[in-house]
Structure 1
Amino acid sequence: MTEDARFEDGREAPLNLGALDGDDLKVISALVQDAVFPASEMRWLAKERRFVLLLNRFRWEDKGRDRHGAERVQAVLAFDNVLKIASQGVPRGDADTILSILSLNWTEGQAPSGTLELTLAGDGAIRLELEALEVVLKDVTRPYRAPSGTVPGHKTEE
């Protein structure tokens, strides 16, 4: 006799998530922590009021890591309703500069507007003034073995 299939045995599917409030954004922030991208993979589409990044995201949600090793996947991170963008320590258009996301933080202003800050490794930051919070994270390729072969680590200050 065979066992019934379990949900946990199903195939791993690409992520396609949205955030419309601060709690939703915390989930996306955790999933894009340690994502890396060349500075040339940022696009500000002013007429569409959209800011988009093409990331190489570590698959934090992957429960099969012990079977196949650490994986990354290319993903699009899109921010809609963007009114204004400012950055610090971010060289735009330089394909040789690799940036790494540490966190996404939402500060609500006069509802539903607010400011979203992308904190980057190395003291870089991108600040988006939004009419309303609307963020999408969508995986666009199959997972691939992380070049380092390891899970990203963070040194803690004591």
Structure 2
Amino acid sequence: MKKIFLSIALALATTVCTAQSVNDVMREFKSAKGATCLNLNKSMIKLMGEGKEQLSLPENIKLGDLGEVGKDIDSVKILVLEDCNASVKKKFAKKTINWDKYGYQPVVVTNEDGENVQIYAQKDGDYFKEIVIRVSSKDDESVLLQIFGKIDPKTFSDKK
């Protein structure tokens, strides 16, 4: 009986010890072969929204017009592992982020048809100060998107 409790305690301790912050995960995977990591500041986001200049992004990243949300965004970090080998993607999918420890609240968490989507946010009063979107799937999608700003959650609702 002692062995069972010890085994469970060790398993839980290992899970807790391997849980990381979003920044830790970004740092760990951005140097993987085939990884694309971008940091976009307010000026670059504004240019994209105005369409005045062509912002050269890797072919697999399509941001498009950010519309109303774009004005509230200060910066964006994007990590795309699409061109990485399967072992890197598998490691990314298994990586645990300690959402609670870093003050994130779940917005959407789904795992359907082999696609795991996690959207978490940190709030500052009535606004989101950070939104993190993590997607991993059996069909090659491995993306981590970190958005900073003062974003009104009402912007995302269908009601006008």
TM-score with structure 1 length normalisation? 0.30
Greater helix content: 2
Specify which structure has the bigger relative contact order, considering alpha-carbon pairs within 8 angstroms and separated by 6 or more residues: 1
Q: Which has the larger radius of gyration?
A: 2
TM-score with structure 2 length normalisation? 0.29
